[in-house]
Structure 1
């Protein structure tokens, strides 16, 4: 993708694994549900379910265990996972924010950039509220707004619309391969957060938001 760094006018963040350490809670819930069906999914499955919607995640988890579920059973398993996840969220707080999250949001806000959230989670607003960062966001697009799961680009396209920018003017911060693919399909510049091997399709990959090249990405907005 062509470097349009000087033209970037907005930032769009995934939630789980980028801003807040909730990916571990999702995986804890899926692992517990899988255990109730008699199998233990591996770490490769944990990576595969990152960023995808609930229906796709059920299929990925149970396929890994060789367990075939009918449509009704899949809904039961998904609801069970959500019940467990909601229980774990009760203890979530600002201590669960990932390194660089607040500092990045503070910097972008100081530079006058609109900030959006693009998450598959239906609990995104609760997570933002519990961790104290909800007020940083000018647009929140989550699983209650968009039904198409990543890598479908819909969540990123809608976030760009709500922020008042074209997709290529936005930088997306993502930790999941499905999210990276969806953001690229939307036409956004993508910063991967995590493993370069998993996120090779991103334009840039960094270990965490602490090392995100904000000045380079948003040059024309730097005072």
Structure 2
């Protein structure tokens, strides 16, 4: 197995607690449109682009608006979301994230962001995480949403590593699938029931230890 030279991180639900703000904004839009959007519904939106998320929400509400209306809805939801995340600070970094990023940096492992979020830079700047990243690939640079592997392949290319030398940290099924399609190993953050395709699944980054990366280098069972 190849030596691990780089780690690529999803943002929402892995490094920072922004997922709740997406949910609040989508729920607010659904209420305005006259239907209920639940936390269970929100699970379907994890790792999915903004317009694809809107399509899922509209499907739940049984609505088929014109394209121009959809663009207005997406813009409105995003404006609410940006309003919420503008007040974020370092206290919303998830447990274990800062420690792991520091350890990776100290061990010479390259670090990239691989997120569908178009607001990633604002979030990283507000939380003070920006300096940890060698490369930032977000929704402003990619065309295809996960499970397409574009975001991770682009990150590896800009880091100067092969897919086999990279490990992805993800909290969404679509993200784990994207990592697999990219030819990368993955660490699932969350439930084994949802993220069972990942090489390792832990409840949070606080439960992940650097030694587990080295274990992956010698585990030839899955990539």
Q: Same fold (TM over 0.5)?
A: yes
DSSP-derived class of the 2:167 partner: strand
Distance 1:207 1:219 in 2: 18
> Residue 73 of structure 1: which of 63, 69, 73 is its match?
69
CA contact (8 A) 1:27 1:46 kept: yes
DSSP-derived class of the 2:113 partner: strand
> Residue 22 of structure 1: which of 18, 21, 26 is its match?
18
Distance 2:123 2:214 in 1: 27
CA contact (8 A) 2:8 2:155 kept: yes
Distance 2:173 2:216 in 1: 29
Q: Does 1:169 align with 2:165?
A: yes
> Residue 158 of structure 1: which of 154, 166, 182 is its match?
154
CA contact (8 A) 1:156 1:186 kept: yes
Superposed displacement of residue 213, structure 1:
3.5
Q: TM-score, normalized by length of structure 1? A: 0.94
Matches within 5 A, 1:43-54: 43-54=39-50
Superposed displacement of residue 220, structure 1:
11
> Is the alpha carbon distance of 1:135 and 1:38 closer, same or farther for their aligned partners in structure 2, counting shifts above 3 Å?
same
> Is the alpha carbon distance of 1:220 and 1:60 closer, same or farther for their aligned partners in structure 2, counting shifts above 3 Å?
closer
1:212 aligned partner: 208
> Residue 134 of structure 2: which of 130, 133, 138 is its match?
138
Superposed displacement of residue 218, structure 1:
3.6
Superposed displacement of residue 212, structure 1:
1.5
Gaps of 5+ in 1: none
Larger CA deviation: 98-107 vs 208-217: 208-217
Distance 1:42 1:10 in 2: 36
Which contiguous aligned blocks of 4+ residues in structure 1 show a shift greater than 3 angstroms?
Answer: 218-221
- 1:172-192 deviations in Å (ceiling 9; x for gaps): 000011111111100110100
CA contact (8 A) 2:8 2:166 kept: yes
Q: Does 1:100 align with 2:96?
A: yes
Gaps of 5+ in 2: 218-223
Distance 1:79 1:218 in 2: 43
Superposed displacement of residue 219, structure 1:
6.4
> Residue 56 of structure 2: which of 56, 60, 63 is its match?
60
Distance 1:40 1:201 in 2: 31
